[in-house]
A and B are shown apart, each in its own frame.
Chain A
């Protein structure tokens, strides 16, 4: 008889934590990361609306629609009830009028269009409000925010799971789910304050970003990071004092977690975006005021965002006046492999072993 122990309902100690840093000053919103993830992991029926990796435009309602108002996370050491996002709030999973266009003999005058499935899912999508942003002309602004599971140090999703299907892997800190044990009760979806968990309607289980752990095990960086043409996604241990993630996060403090007030201690960090200066009504430049309101950035990244931005600006000034900057040299990434720590293996050089991977996803270690 398998007893389900109390410890499986909480968090477990990790001996190592794989972290990522996204430099938002280099992200161009191309969604290559989103597509790299989509084609690798979520192409099956039931996963149509899954975007384990997606890039939202900020300010915006994001994905699922209005996720920052959906609750979840920890407050004073207690889990906060949250809303379970619906398929319509994620958007996507759209149906199209393929029959009408391709088989109805009307191909010349009927155009391909999404058909409303009745649940409103064709009224939103992971990049529905792309490039809308905020502010008024001539001071409109926006930036891109690539989002995925934060593989949190205190994952409230794990604490909310009644079956013990969810766990945090000690060897790399990936927050995973044993798909054989998951009963699809979706308390994890409610509890996650980042709304990073999706329901697979066809299989009746919840799913989310797996940190590409089968790739990590082979020394390959996660697909979103490796495919990013902007060379802005660092992967590695935040505990390696010589590695770029440790230096960016802990030493230089220019990379910050998203919504630290949610209390889950994310392991995905962001270098916050610099912005152009505001323009006065007469179109002269207001050198005192950045176009992205600092209070908006604080609402996303917490109060440390101000010192982080000041630090990057002062490094820029140093370089402009002929000096050098280790921080900027790190963020520029002169050599691509420097992004990936120990995960530089080219996946094209590996034997493909899909069966092994499938078994690993479905099995929580004893």
Chain B
């Protein structure tokens, strides 16, 4: 997938600047059940479909060392209308081989990292009104499906992005989400990216997700 250099940051999914950035349809499939990290999760989901979002349109832009990823997909339900709090909300994330070690390149992206080959996950989630003090996006270390940890300096994972540099802007129209997640661009020796989407109405969270089963190779473009 081509990474388009742009002259202005494209923080918003409705920024007209996105029209000049090519979009690609990216297929998604469920994280494999046997890769789920414990017997409880495997038992709870063995008879229940998950990873319901089957694909997303993705565009990637770069500005001043910062990477902007625009993800657009259809969720299975619109915003709650009766004032009730949903238990799980829609969520999406992109991830890159984490620096150091075998850098996530060793395996396919379907497990969102492994213990030996972690990934850096930029995770956006739709926040509830009561969650106004929480950040819309965070950087996590992914060591397997749902085996996510906050990045810390002791992880030696200050780059590609520490938590504070990750941001996200989202827009919902009916069932359709458009989200831009941005952060400091990952190092050039790891020009590949994975994508995961969680359907909140189906109680998807952690490793219960739809994910790319092939890495998205990022190519520097003009």
Contacts and interface: CB of A to CB of B under 8 A. Distances in A.
A160 B133 contact: no
Given A9-B38, A202-B130, A1 B155 contact: yes
Interface in B21-78: 36-41, 43-44
Contacts of A87: 85
A41 B17 CA distance: 49
A3 B140 CA distance: 13
Contacts of B145: 162
Contacts of A3: 115-116, 143
Given A2-B155, A3-B115, A160 B41 contact: yes
A181 interface: yes
Contact of B83 (A81, A117, A160, A191): A117
Contacts of A86: 87
A162 B85 contact: no
Contact of A46 (B82, B116, B130, B141): B130
Interface stretch (A182-190, A229-237, A285-293, A312-320): A182-190
B141 to A, nearest CB: 7
Interface residues of B, number: 43
A88 B36 CA distance: 29
A186 B86 CA distance: 13
By DSSP majority rule, is chain B's interface helix, strand, loop, or mixed? loop
A162 B207 contact: yes
Contacts of A159: 38-40
A215 B33 CA distance: 42
Contact of A201 (B82, B130, B141): B130
Contacts of B44: 81-82, 187, 190
A160 B98 CA distance: 26
Contacts of B87: 84, 86, 186, 199
A118 B38 contact: no
Interface residues of A, number: 42
Given A1-B100, A81-B43, A186 B150 contact: no
Q: Which of A119, A159, A183, A202 has the most CB of B within 10 A?
A: A183
B176 interface: no
Interface string B137-176: 0001101111111101011110000000000000000000
Nearest to B100: A1
A181 B140 CA distance: 10
B191 to A, nearest CB: 20
A1 B130 contact: no
Given A162-B38, A163-B149, A118 B155 contact: no
B139 to A, nearest CB: 13
B53 to A, nearest CB: 18
A201 B85 contact: yes
Given A1-B98, A117-B84, A183-B148, A45 B130 contact: yes
A129 to B, nearest CB: 23
B84 A163 contact: no
A87 B84 CA distance: 10
B141 A2 contact: yes
B38 A163 contact: no
A204 B85 CA distance: 13
Contacts of A352: none
Interface string B110-144: 00000110100000000010110110000011011
A84 B134 CA distance: 23
B134 A203 contact: yes
A202 B150 contact: no
Contacts of B147: 4, 162-164
Contacts of A217: none
A211 to B, nearest CB: 23
A180 interface: yes
A156 B118 CA distance: 26
B40 A187 contact: yes
A42 B2 CA distance: 50
Contact of A78 (B43, B203, B205): B43
B101 interface: yes
A80 interface: yes
Contacts of A82: 44
B96 to A, nearest CB: 14
A88 B143 CA distance: 34
Interface string A184-210: 111100110000000101111000000
Nearest to A82: B44
B40 A156 contact: yes
A60 interface: no
Contacts of A5: 115
Closest 8 CB pairs of A and B: A118-B83, A119-B84, A160-B40, A162-B146, A185-B206, A81-B44, A79-B40, A118-B82
Given A160-B41, A162-B37, A199-B87, 6 more contacts: A84-B203, A117-B83, A162-B38, A162-B144, A162-B147, A185-B206
7 contacts: A1-B156, A4-B144, A87-B85, A163-B206, A187-B40, A187-B44, A201-B130
Interface of B: 36-41, 43-44, 82-85, 87, 98, 100-101, 115-116, 118, 128, 130-131, 133-134, 140-141, 143-150, 152, 154-157, 203, 205-207
